[in-house]
C-alpha cells in the first residue's frame, strides 16, 4: 500500500485481531470482520511483520565477523 508503512499495517492487523477476539465488528478496507476471518487477519499480520523485519534489517550486515589475533 502506497503511503502506509509496514509498522502501520502491523498495528492495523493487531487492532483487527483484538476486535475479532473481543467479538466486535471492525471495518477494514470497506469490509467488516467476523470470527471466521481471524485466521486470515493473523496471516496478513504475520506477512506485514516479516516485511517490517526486512525493512529494519536493511543496511545491516547479516552476520557478525570476529577477528582473532
pLDDT of residue 26: 62
Q: Is residue 63 part of a domain?
A: no
Give the pTM: 0.56
Q: Is residue 36 part of a domain?
A: yes
List, in sequence order, every residue forming a beta bridge with 32; answer none if it has no partner.
27
pLDDT of residue 38: 81
How many structural domains compose the chain? Answer: 1
Q: What is the pLDDT of residues 2-20, one digit of tens each?
A: 688 999 999 999 998 888 7
Q: What is the 3-state secondary structure (H, E, C) of the chain?
A: CCCCCHHHHHHHHHHHHHHHHCCCCCEECCEECCHHHHHHHHHHHHHHHHHHHHHHHCCCCCCCCCCCC
C-alpha cell at 36: 471466521
Q: Is residue 15 part of a domain?
A: yes
Structural domain range at position 23: 6-57
How far is the C-alpha of 22 from the C-alpha of 13, rounded, in Å? Answer: 14
**Closest of 17, 5, 4, 6 to residue 49, by C-alpha:** 6
Q: What is the pLDDT of residues 8-67, one digit of tens each?
A: 999 999 998 888 788 766 666 677 666 557 888 889 999 999 999 999 888 666 566 667
Q: Is residue 43 part of a domain?
A: yes
Q: Is residue 22 part of a domain?
A: yes
Amino acid at each position: 500500500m502506497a503511503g502506509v508503512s509496514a509498522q502501520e499495517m502491523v498495528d492495523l492487523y493487531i487492532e483487527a485481531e483484538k476486535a475479532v477476539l473481543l467479538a466486535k465488528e471492525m471495518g477494514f478496507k470497506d469490509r467488516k470482520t467476523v470470527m471466521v476471518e481471524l485466521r486470515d487477519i493473523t496471516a496478513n499480520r504475520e506477512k506485514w511483520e516479516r516485511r517490517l523485519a526486512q525493512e529494519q534489517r536493511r543496511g545491516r550486515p547479516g552476520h557478525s565477523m570476529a577477528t582473532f589475533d
